[in-house]
Amino acid sequence: MRLVLAFLTAGVVLLAGAVPAAAEPELPAIPVGAFGWPVAGLSGGAPTDGGVARRFLPPPTPYGRGHRGVDLTGVPGASVLAAGAGTVVYAGPLAGRGVVSVRHDGGLRTTYEPVRALVPVGAVVARGTVLGTLEPGHAGCPVACLHWGLRWAHPPGAAREQYLDPLLLVGLGRTRLWPTG
């Protein structure tokens, strides 16, 4: 098992191996400012409408219970934005909810749900591009929440993915150790 430590230094969020394993690649550095809030109305480093309704809780094992993302409070119909530049790799219904998934450089992938998609698969998007509109009905939210997820494939394009705290993308993720194997 390898442990990973996330920390901020010199304007870059580094996701670096605390106990490096020679056979496993290091997590990518995320330049501060390359990603932003995925819901319209969230700016200035903190949500303006109540914020994070539920934080990231990594599962103890790859198939264990956990909360593989964060829930951000919002209002139905709010614009859901691409957190960073990338390519839309999924846009449509999944398990009864609308989902949009964007692949970014370095093997990172962000997911957004429940969303009524306004972009097609294959669309190249910039940070802040409208992906769709927030739909109501996310479990545990009084009106509407965006479930925002972040996964990292190692190496990029690999089938094996690790869930990370998406708040790292906006400089608010908790510094913590995560098991990676």
Which pair of tokens denotes residue 71?
A: 């829930």
Q: Round to whole Å and give the CA distance between 108 and 100.
A: 14
Strands 86-94 and 97-103: antiparallel
Q: Quote the pLDDT of residue 127.
A: 95
Instruction: Please give the DSSP secondary-structure letter assigned to residue 38.
Output: S
State the Cα–Cα distance between residues 19 and 134, nearest whole angstrom. Answer: 40
Residue 7, domain member (yes or no): no
User: 59: cis peptide before it, omega within 30°?
Assistant: no
Full domain range(s) for residue 159: 36-166
9 is a domain residue: no
The predicted-structure confidence for 3-47, as pLDDT tens digits, reads as follows 343 444 444 444 433 333 344 456 677 777 789 999 876 544 445
Find the radius of gyration of the CA atoms of the chain.
16
Judged on CB neighbours under 10 Å (0-12, 13-18, 19+), 65 is exposed
Query: What pLDDT is recorded for position 4?
Result: 40
Dig out the tokens for 39 from the structure.
Answer: 């819901």
Share of the chain above pLDDT 90, in %: 33
Bigger pLDDT: 48 vs 76: 76
In a domain? residue 85: yes
What CATH number corresponds to the domain at position 121?
Answer: 2.70.70.10
Answer yes or no: is 157 within a domain.
yes
Number of structural domains in the chain: 1
